[in-house]
Structure 1
């Protein structure tokens, strides 16, 4: 065996098999960015947001798989699991003791799709109306018309 192969063999024995993009895999619950269809943060999952978008993504990508963050309480995933069952999409809970992820749910494909927008669009804040702005009583007292 050549020296390079021997070194690779020893390194693999000590540290485990080489992994492509380990940081991405930790962030996206075991998959890489180029395979991701849709991502929901933990806060979005707790707020039951993105169910409509997830349903559309499952219709568009019927061979996808749903990854659930195992660090979250399983009850938060009930509406998402129901949608997955309706569309015959398998799901798996992923728990990684070595790292944590801000993402609560990842819809992924077995092969690369390189989808640009994988996050939910941000909701726009509704501006406050003039009526809700209050003037202090002190200013009203000294206002001159």
Structure 2
């Protein structure tokens, strides 16, 4: 028979979690389950917003099931955009609790089993998607002489 006082104290302390610091860092999941991740700054970039459906499709082609965790530190407009994109793909997404506010990640795409992917950074995994954005032509200003005599 268990002591009722001990049980009450354990339940009052909250759920017992395995590696709670790791789960807070990786937005309530384990590091070995992460398929792709990005920082808060990267999650705010236009290039990632445009290419996120492609990344989701690629992830769901290789892993089943796929989940998306969104940081509570991300602005609400970005949170809603990412939620909408994941819903359109039929993937479960959630904005994690405020316990994860100190996480360096803005988005985590993960599965329910070890993924074996290293590195998980989206910029490294999908560098070709981000290079297209960076290859925008740089307009060169004409020199003063060309403007005057050209």
TM class by smaller structure: 0.5 to 0.7
Partner of 1:25: 23
Residue 53 of structure 1 aligns to a residue in which SS? helix
Aligned to 2:147: none
Q: Given the alignment, which residue of 94, 119, 132 partners 1:92?
A: 94
CA distance in 2, matches of 1:16, 1:36: 25
Using the size of structure 2 for normalisation, the TM-score is 0.65
Determine the C-alpha separation between the residues in 2 that align with 1:78 and 1:99.
17
Query: Are residues 1:15 and 2:13 paired?
Result: yes
1:78-112 CA deviation, whole Å, 9 max, x = no partner?
A: 55334323321011111224752111111111222
Q: Which has the higher helix share?
A: 2
For residues 36 and 74 of structure 1, the distance between their equivalents in structure 2, rounded to whole angstroms, comes to 23
Q: State how many pairs are aligned.
A: 124
Match of residue 142 from structure 2: none
**Correspondence list, 1:4-83, <5 A:** 9=7, 12-48=10-46, 49=48, 51=52, 52-83=54-85
Root mean square deviation of aligned Cα: 3.2
In the TM superposition, what is the alpha-carbon distance from 1:11 to its structure 2 partner?
5.8
Shift of 1:66: 0.7
Greater C-alpha Rg:
1
Contact 2:73 2:101 (C-alpha < 8 Å) held by counterparts: no
In the alignment, the residues of structure 1 paired with residue 14 and residue 88 of structure 2 have an alpha-carbon distance, to the nearest angstrom, of: 38
TM-score (norm 1): 0.67
Structure 2 spans left out of the alignment, 5+ residues: 136-150
| Distance in 1 separating the partners of 2:6 and 2:118 | 35
Residue of structure 2 in register with 1:139 after alignment = none
